Amino acid sequence: MIKAITGTKDILPSEISKWYLLENTVKNIFSNYNYKEIRTPVFEETLLFSRSIGEGTDIVGKEMYTFSDRSETSITLKPEMTAGVVRAFIEHSLGKQQPLNKLFYISPMFRQERPQAGRLRQFHQFGGEALGSSSMLLDAELIHIAYEILRNLGLKDVRVKINSLGVPSSRENYKNILRKYLADKKNKLSEESRKRLDSNILRLFDSKIESDQEILRNAPLLIDYIDDESKKDFEQVKEFLGKLNVPFETDPALVRGLDYYTKTTFEIVSGKVGSQSALVGGGRYDLLAEQLGGDPTPGVGFAAGIERILLACENEGTLNQHDEKIDLYIVKLDKDLTSELLDLALNFRRKNISVDFDYLNRSVKAQMREANKLNARYVLFLGGEEYKSGSVNLKNMKTGDQKLFALKDFSEMVKIISQ
RNA sequence: GUGAGUAUAGCUCAGUUGGUUAGAGCACCAGGUUGUGGCCCUGGGGGUCAAGGGUUCAAAUCCCUUUACUCACCCCA
């Protein structure tokens, strides 16, 4: 049997209503803030990602789906959206048409990791990006939007964490200070952490090992060493978040993995989804556009994992399936009324009434069971005695009441069913 | 890439220290007097017990290999 590729999932009809609900919430809230949807291709030139996300990151180093097409161009399935959005922004000179572009997206992403709870190889994200302003209003606004969406989906067990990474020069400076602090404690660190000393020293703070945490307890913190402007901006983000009534906590250990982040970084975590607890991650990337060959353009954005959010919703018991309903089920009492059935169904459907009927030549009882299973609001019986005199019975499935209608009073039936 | 666990019907799971034709609930299908659902009742279909090998008179059950899935590490949404 051919099965779906490891780490990919079919979204079946039985669960699609939750996706619709989430997507509609996302679209509604973003449009309330005047963000416009952008769609970019699922694949891009590999160079785009290695340049923006960073050669040293795990995403670029070992998680990308990369292949050559027939013209020997190296292609990569997008592992995240920001790079593609900024590429499109530059390519179409969006910044020259208006100074600020507020964009959002909903899209599949691809990363070749070992699947586990809340982690897939093809997964889906929605997110927002604001390009063209260094105002912290936007940092706060995007955090607010993400928070609003999660709250609107009924999530309660979520925490907003924020931090600032400063600008690259102050960050490099801090890294040296941290290295000095750790110099004589190196051999006490775990093996994993020692590796990170060279690869990504900031990540040390993520260590789940107690002895590492002990060593880091008195370590200098990045937030104390970032440049003055970044500090001031960070204070502003906090102030705006307060004004917007978003509860948050500052987390000096919050380091985001992608190279392009500057200043604000943030995460929204859930206590209900297992080990992969980050529902939302984002931050500011003031240098990215320039790095990708565009005019210098400040930007800020976030990405949210849809599967993780749906998992959180499930575990918090929110987003309960509302019953799928159909307006009308037509039961055929005689076998040979197919053409009349088709006419009738078409006329109702053109009045925006959803109609289904039996395709399997089943008994009236079986048709009724089907109507009930489909949650049909009304059943119309086509055929039999009353049909000879040009009328049909219309049954209200909730009350069980049944009423005879002349077929020429079609609009009467429409009126009743449409209520 | 590393580690642990799991694999029996479409789904959720029973299956005793190895012992006849492998079970239940749900789902599905058909009936329960002419042309009417839900509840209930009766019946039915559906399994290479993940695959391959081994031990044994006898394997879903014990052993080995492989595969898949799950969770965790790493990292991230």
Q: Is the CB of A230 under 7 A from strand B?
A: no
pLDDT score, position A217: 79
Residue A5 lies in a domain: no
- Find the domain containing A99 and state its range: 13-167+226-315
Query: Do A337 and A283 share a structural domain?
Result: no
Question: How long is the CA A2 to C1' B57 vector, in angstroms?
Answer: 40
pLDDT score, position A52: 92
Query: Do A386 and A307 share a structural domain?
Result: no
Q: A376 to each of A112, A324, A370, A417, how far by Cα in Å?
A: 44, 9, 9, 11
Query: Do A88 and A20 share a structural domain?
Result: yes
Last residue of a domain, one of A251, A280, A315: A315
Question: How long is the CA A115 to C1' B50 vector, in angstroms?
Answer: 20
Residue A91 lies in a domain: yes
Last residue of a domain, one of A281, A315, A349: A315
Q: Is the CB of A369 under 7 A from strand B?
A: yes
The CATH number covering residue A140 comes to: 3.30.930.10
| Total domains, chain A | 2
Residue A3 lies in a domain: no
Query: Do A387 and A303 share a structural domain?
Result: no
Last residue of a domain, one of A315, A346, A372: A315
State the Cα–Cα distance between residues A255 and A47, nearest whole angstrom: 24
Decide: A48 and A114 in contact? Cβ < 8 Å. no
DSSP-derived pairing of the beta strands A299-305 and A355-357: unpaired
**Hits for CB < 7 Å against strand B across A residues 265-294:** 267, 274-281
Query: Do A112 and A63 share a structural domain?
Result: yes
Q: A211 to each of A217, A219, A335, A355, how far by Cα in Å?
A: 10, 13, 78, 65
Residue A345 lies in a domain: yes
**Cβ neighbours of residue A31 closer than 8 Å, sequence gap 6 or more:** none
C-alpha closest to that of A102 among A292, A248, A302, A280 = A302
Question: How long is the CA A409 to C1' B32 vector, in angstroms?
Answer: 37
Please list the pLDDT of chain A residue by residue as tens digits (419 residues). Answer: 888 999 999 999 989 999 999 999 999 999 999 999 999 999 999 999 999 998 888 899 889 999 999 999 999 999 999 999 999 999 999 999 999 999 999 999 999 999 999 999 999 999 999 999 999 999 999 999 999 999 999 999 999 999 999 998 888 888 888 888 888 887 777 777 777 777 778 888 877 777 777 788 788 888 888 999 999 999 999 999 999 999 999 998 888 878 889 999 999 999 999 898 999 999 999 999 999 999 999 999 999 999 999 999 999 988 877 778 999 999 999 988 999 999 999 999 999 999 999 999 999 999 999 999 999 999 999 999 999 999 999 999 999 999 999 999 999 999 999 98
Query: Do A257 and A147 share a structural domain?
Result: yes
pLDDT score, position A345: 97
Query: Do A332 and A302 share a structural domain?
Result: no
pLDDT score, position A185: 80
Query: Do A338 and A273 share a structural domain?
Result: no
Give residue A252's identity as a one-letter amino acid code.
Answer: P
Decide: A285 and A299 in contact? Cβ < 8 Å. yes
**Which of the nucleotides lies closest to A192 (Cα–C1')?**
B74
Residue A343 lies in a domain: yes
**Hits for CB < 7 Å against strand B across A residues 113-132:** 113-120, 123, 125
Decide: A123 and A306 in contact? Cβ < 8 Å. yes
Q: Is the CB of A256 under 7 A from strand B?
A: yes
Residue A174 lies in a domain: no
Residue A202 lies in a domain: no
Query: Do A286 and A372 share a structural domain?
Result: no
pLDDT score, position A147: 98
Query: Do A231 and A111 share a structural domain?
Result: yes
Query: Do A244 and A149 share a structural domain?
Result: yes
Q: Which nucleotides of B are covered by protein (CB under 7 A)?
A: 1-3, 28-32, 35-38, 68-77
Residue A305 lies in a domain: yes
**Hits for CB < 7 Å against strand B across A residues 170-199:** 192, 196
The CATH number covering residue A378 comes to: 3.40.50.800
Query: Do A147 and A55 share a structural domain?
Result: yes
pLDDT score, position A32: 98
Residue A245 — left, alpha, or beta (φ > 0 → left; ψ -120 to 50 → alpha)?
Answer: left
